[in-house]
Amino acid sequence: MAITTQAPEPPEARRSGAYAGFGPAGPIPLAGESIPPPVGRRRLALPPMTAKLAAGLIIGGLILLFGILAPFVVQDPATVNDIGLAGPSGAHWLGTTQTGQDVLAQLAYATRGSLTIGAIVGLVTLALSGFFGVVGAYAGGWIDELFSLISNVMLVIPGLPLVIVISSYVSDKSIWLVALVLSITGWAGSARVLRGYTLSLRSRDYVLAARVAGEKRWRILAVEILPNLVPLLAAQVVFAVIFAILGEAGLSYLGLGATGSFTWGTMLYYAQNGLALRLGAWWWFVPPGLLLALFGAALSLVNFAIDEYVNPKLRKAPR
Amino acid sequence: MTTLDARHLVKEYRLRHTTLRAVDDVSFTLEPGRTLALVGQSGSGKSTVAKLLMQLEKPTAGEIRLDHRPVQRRGAGLAAYRRTVQMVFQDPFASLNPFHTVAHHLERPVRLHHGGLSSPQVRERVLHLLERVRLTPPDQVARRRPHELSGGQRQRVAIARALAPEPGILVADEPVSMLDVSIRLGVLNLLATLQREEHLGVLYITHDLATARHFADEILVMYQGSIVERGPANDVIRAPHHEYTKALVAAAPDPERRIRELRA
Amino acid sequence: MTEPILTVDDFSVDYEVEPTVHAVRHVSLTLRRGEVLGLAGESGCGKTTLAYGIVRLLKPPAAITSGHAVFHARNGDDVDWSRLDARELRRNRWDQISMVFQGAMNSLNPVISIRDQLEDVFTTHRPEMGKRERRDRCGDLLERVGVDRARLHSYPHELSGGMRQRVMIAMAMALEPQIMIMDEPTTALDVVVQREILREITRLRDELGFAVLFITHDLPLLLEISDRIAVMKDGEVVELAGAVELYTNPRHEYTKMLLASFPSLTGEPR
């Protein structure tokens, strides 16, 4: 799963440089060629708020809130009721499942479950790809070769069959196991992208200047290189989360996921098993499917915004 | 006051099918208070010489001596070398980290090479450096990030950074070729002034014969890795010996020569 | 040689961003038949924008806000380039006015041979030309700019920077336009190669009689090749004079300052 985020371009710099003349000590700056007023405290902190970014953040934020807070206020999702498969009503806003469980409650817990998987995979991918990609590329030499080899091997191993094999060995899977499995199969692509970009950063003049100034290598990595990697890292993490959530949904739908827990994928799995489509019980599979699609779209929008910020060529209107 | 000796430097790069000799038996001496110009076109090897002098690459053969002693490549010896030999890079837009303020760029070398100074003392040195390179008011400039400054201002920051450790030798790798025409002489004048004030030995690397003639005492002409001609600046240009030097002098735009031709 | 071939009248270009940038301000100049007019200025002065504006190559947010660029053909017709529609533009571009862009060396398609790229010009603009004639013409063009005919079969990466630049000039000359606009054509080249390219351009101009608008920041270079020189600053033409006159007797402060920025090679040391 290769990301096509391009390397960030340096922002346009002011090019004015006219001087009023040459004095005995060198040029005299024109009154107009003065130091410009400050642009802001931190330049690279956040991309500008565009419609895309706002939409992505709002939708994603709402779903996130739902996943965090809703489980505290809904009914118990596991309680079996006698009414069987029933549509939305006053007592059950999104109806019930085949065994009478409240769909809204399940949706709340499922959101939490899916988001948890997304978060875990995001963090683990960040750690693994950061280590194997960035540290390897910066160190150079045999470390770079070794890490690159490991990344490439992991990349070449087919992800889905590996996941299926691992999943089929362990029968009673928890969310944590599923998250781990997805992380292991997903970090290599990011590592390659990060490695490429770190290699290019490593030979930039300001890194060489830091070496010439006498900085220690680890400090150069932390202080000079890492801050310029942040936008790319952010995009990679967001992408990893999307991959995790969609991947988990796919796995669970095949019955290979954390069937004992509530996630969007497992809801779809049970809905499929309970013949929801055939029976017309739209309230069972549409909500999880809709939230899945919406959250994926929201994260993608955020990623587009990061891409546009990082690569000025993608921006439509001038800033 | 330092002397830098480059003796029979060779740098070879191993490519897939061949070996590229970027630097072929180059020798010269940098003395305090004198400017040496290394003139050559792209691909002549002059930037590689700069990298060798800054210990960004190791020479395949030959040696470098600082104050008549062989250079150290690690530990305290390397730190002392870095304090004494500094560099101004060609591209003012790439040699400063877009993420950090000007103050950060200048504080780091001050802290590294003058350890034990308190924060206010470091701050004072930073402001003093900015004043020396005519970037005023210094406290405002210190707060800016590189993209908020013009090319000429950035290059002055780069010069200030190079001066922060109080070096004895300065390598200037095409310091003005990426700046607007009208500010080039200003930056070069600044370098000349600082050289006089600090009694530096300067290596001025350029492709432009005209500025080399005006700012250097001695010119070394480099072609495909070797030095083909050397001598006092005016002599090399007025009476070149080597074919390549003659071609360079003839090819450089020379308005006065042209006007003479047109009037004749 | 003194009749005008291009009249630029009160030409203005704005970049419609926040705040509006007036890149070119009310520029009027005349390019005479067969002359080399140098356009000098530093980065940001608007010279490239002006050139692009004349041939209608500007993209939004740039917009021409006033003025015309009128081309005076040999047969007496006047073509107002600011009024041409898309079809007419396609027909007239490269035929009447052609352009050698900045960084032209990297404008060649790396996966197509030189011959195919040169022939492309003819298949687009002279579709009635036969295959053999086309091939011969391409070979002739290359020889004319001093590149061996056999290089037709090469790919761009097999040629040096100087050779690629000559190919770009050949491409611009292919339809024998009456005006060639050259935007910093020699900036990235070695000074020795630069001298050769300038010599070629002057020689071709003498042979074929086209006019050249030569855009660069290198003022001493313009003296070597131009008949007249226009100096631009902040979107305006601040001085326009014969080359020698401008150099020996500059009138505007900015011209003087610009001239002072170039230390002389053989004159007295400053």
Q: What is the pLDDT of residues C18-35, one digit of tens each?
A: 888 899 999 999 999 999
Which are the contacts of C255, defined by CB distance < 8 A and separation ≥ 6?
C231, C238, C239, C246
pLDDT at C132: 92
pLDDT in tens, A284-319: 889 999 999 999 999 999 988 888 777 765 554 433
Cα–Cα dist B46/B39, whole Å: 8
Inspect the interface and report whether the beta carbons of A39 and B145 lie closer than 8 Å: yes
Cα–Cα dist A138/A58, whole Å: 37
Q: Are residues B171 and B3 in contact, defined by beta-carbon separation less than 8 angstroms? A: no
pLDDT at A45: 54
From chain C, the residues in CB contact with B254 under 8 A are: 220, 264-266
A14: left (phi over 0), alpha (psi -120 to 50) or beta: beta
How crowded is residue C160: how many other Cβ atoms within 10 Å of its Cβ? 12
What domains does chain A contain, in order, with CATH numbers? 49-81+93-314 (1.10.3720.10)
At residue B177, does pLDDT exceed 80?
yes
At residue A39, does pLDDT exceed 60?
no
Residue B16: CATH number of its domain? 3.40.50.300
Cα–Cα dist A250/C214, whole Å: 62
The interface predicted TM-score (ipTM) is: 0.87
Long-range contacts of C137-146 (CB under 8 A, 24+ apart): C137/C174, C141/C170, C141/C171, C141/C173, C141/C174, C142/C114, C142/C118, C142/C166, C142/C167, C142/C170, C144/C170, C144/C173, C144/C204, C145/C169, C145/C170, C145/C173, C145/C200, C145/C204, C146/C196, C146/C200
Encoding tokens for residue B55?
């210990």
- Any A CB within 8 A of B197 CB: no
Among residues C161, C163, C109, C116, the alpha carbon closest in space to that of C138 is found at: C116
pLDDT in tens, C130-165: 999 999 999 988 888 888 888 888 888 888 878 888
Cα–Cα dist A282/A83, whole Å: 17
- Taking only residues 218 to 257 of chain B, the set having a beta carbon closer than 8 angstroms to any beta carbon of chain A reads none
pLDDT at C197: 85
Q: Which chains form contacts with chain C, at 3 or more CB pairs under 8 Å?
A: A, B
Cα–Cα dist A295/A283, whole Å: 18
Query: 3-class SS at B172?
Result: strand
For C257, which of A15, A21, A318 is closest by C-beta distance?
Answer: A21
pLDDT in tens, A221-252: 888 888 888 888 999 999 999 989 998 998 88
pLDDT at A35: 47
Among A210-214, B34-38, C42-46, C264-268, where is mean pLDDT lowest?
C264-268
β-pairing verdict for B169-173 and B201-206: parallel
Q: Where are the alpha helices (DSSP H) in C126-238?
A: 131-144, 161-173, 191-208, 219-225
- Taking only residues 22 to 81 of chain C, the set having a beta carbon closer than 8 angstroms to any beta carbon of chain A reads 42-44, 61
Q: What is the mean pLDDT of residues A3-20?
A: 30
pLDDT at A19: 31
Cα–Cα dist C15/A318, whole Å: 10
pLDDT in tens, B107-165: 999 998 888 889 999 999 999 999 999 998 899 999 998 888 988 999 999 999 999 99
Secondary structure tally for chain B: helices H, strands E: 11, 10
Q: What is the mean pLDDT of residues A206-228?
A: 89
Question: Mean pLDDT in chain C?
Answer: 88
Q: How confident is the model at residue C36 (pLDDT cuts 50, 70, 90)?
A: very high
The alpha-carbon gap from C269 to the nearest alpha carbon of chain B, in Å, equals 7
Name the percent of chain B lying above pLDDT 70: 100
- Any C CB within 8 A of A17 CB: yes
Inspect the interface and report whether the beta carbons of B254 and C247 lie closer than 8 Å: no
- Taking only residues 212 to 251 of chain A, the set having a beta carbon closer than 8 angstroms to any beta carbon of chain B reads 212-215, 223-224, 227-228
Encoding tokens for residue B46?
């002059």
Name the percent of chain C lying above pLDDT 90: 34
Q: How far apart are the first and last CA of chain C?
A: 39
Query: 3-class SS at C100?
Result: strand
Inspect the interface and report whether the beta carbons of B41 and C191 lie closer than 8 Å: yes
A99: left (phi over 0), alpha (psi -120 to 50) or beta: alpha
Residue of A12, A14, A15, A33 best to disrupt the C interface, most CBs of C under 10 A: A15
Residue B24 belongs to what H/E stretch? strand B19-30
Encoding tokens for residue B50?
């700069």
Q: What is the DSSP string of A245-268?
A: HHHHHHHHHTT-S-TTS--HHHHH
Residue of B93, B191, B236, B254 best to disrupt the C interface, most CBs of C under 10 A: B254
Q: How confident is the model at residue A6 (pLDDT cuts 50, 70, 90)?
A: very low
Reported pTM:
0.79
At residue A43, does pLDDT exceed 80?
no
At residue A37, does pLDDT exceed 90?
no
The residue with greater pLDDT, A8 or C99, is C99
pLDDT at B18: 84
Inspect the interface and report whether the beta carbons of C257 and A318 lie closer than 8 Å: no
Q: How confident is the model at residue A5 (pLDDT cuts 50, 70, 90)?
A: very low
Q: What is the mean pLDDT of residues A59-82?
A: 87
Cis bond before residue C19 (omega within 30° of 0): yes
At residue A176, does pLDDT exceed 50?
yes
The alpha-carbon gap from C228 to the nearest alpha carbon of chain B, in Å, equals 14
- Any C CB within 8 A of A142 CB: no
Q: What is the DSSP string of chain A?
A: ----PPPPPPPPPP----EEEEETTEEEEPSSS-PPPP--S-SSS-----HHHHHHHHHHHHHHHHHHHHHHHS--TT---TT-S----SSSTT-B-TT--BHHHHHHHHHHHHHHHHHHHHHHHHHHHIIIIIIHHHH-HHHHHHHHHHHHHHHHS-HHHHHHHHHHH-SS--HHHHHHHHHHHHHHHHHHHHHHHHHHHHTSHHHHHHHHHT--HHHIIIIIIHHHHHHHHHHHHHHHHHHHHHHHHHHHHTT-S-TTS--HHHHHHHHHHTTHHHHT-HHHHHHHHHHHHHHHHHHHHHHHHHHHHH-GGG-SS--
The alpha-carbon gap from B75 to the nearest alpha carbon of chain A, in Å, equals 11
Cα–Cα dist B21/B59, whole Å: 11
Q: What is the mean pLDDT of residues A84-110?
A: 85
Q: Are residues B8 and B14 in contact, defined by beta-carbon separation less than 8 angstroms? A: no
The residue with greater pLDDT, A147 or A24, is A147
pLDDT at A9: 27
Question: Mean pLDDT in chain A?
Answer: 79
Q: Are residues B224 and B45 in contact, defined by beta-carbon separation less than 8 angstroms? A: yes
Query: 3-class SS at B119?
Result: helix
Q: Which chains form contacts with chain B, at 3 or more CB pairs under 8 Å?
A: A, C
pLDDT in tens, B56-110: 999 999 999 999 999 988 888 898 999 999 999 999 888 998 888 999 999 999 9
Residue A26 dihedral angles phi and psi, to the nearest 5°: 120, -170
Q: How confident is the model at residue C269 (pLDDT cuts 50, 70, 90)?
A: low
pLDDT at A143: 93
From chain C, the residues in CB contact with A22 under 8 A are: 260
pLDDT in tens, C176-224: 899 999 998 887 778 888 888 888 888 888 988 899 999 999 888 898 8
At residue A38, does pLDDT exceed 50?
no
**Amino acid (one-letter) located at A136:** G
Q: How confident is the model at residue C1 (pLDDT cuts 50, 70, 90)?
A: low
Q: How far apart are the first and last CA of chain B?
A: 50
Per-domain boundaries in chain C: 4-105+178-260
pLDDT at C268: 63
Cα–Cα dist B100/A44, whole Å: 10
Topology, domain C4-105+178-260: Rossmann fold (3.40.50)
B14: β partners: B19
Q: How many domains are contained in chain B?
A: 1
The string over C163-186, giving b where at least 16 C-beta atoms fall within 10 Å of a residue's C-beta and e elsewhere, is: bbbbbbbbbbbbbebbbbbbbbbb
For A16, which of C15, C44, C61 is closest by C-beta distance?
Answer: C44
Residue of B nearest to C40 (CA): B181
Encoding tokens for residue B89?
């890079």
- Any A CB within 8 A of B152 CB: yes
Is the four-CA dihedral A198, A199, A205, A207 of positive or negative sign? positive
Q: What is the mean pLDDT of residues B22-39?
A: 94
Cα–Cα dist C157/B144, whole Å: 42
The residue with greater pLDDT, A32 or B235, is B235
The alpha-carbon gap from B94 to the nearest alpha carbon of chain A, in Å, equals 5
At residue A20, does pLDDT exceed 60?
no
At residue B166, does pLDDT exceed 50?
yes
Cα–Cα dist A214/B52, whole Å: 15
Among residues C99, C19, C9, the alpha carbon closest in space to that of C56 is found at: C99
Cα–Cα dist C188/C173, whole Å: 21
**Amino acid (one-letter) located at A167:** S
Residue C4 belongs to what H/E stretch? strand C4-15
Residue of B nearest to A13 (CA): B147
pLDDT in tens, C110-133: 899 999 999 998 998 888 989 999
At residue A2, does pLDDT exceed 60?
no
Residue of B nearest to C218 (CA): B181
Encoding tokens for residue A63?
């779903």
At residue A48, does pLDDT exceed 80?
no
**Amino acid (one-letter) located at C66:** S
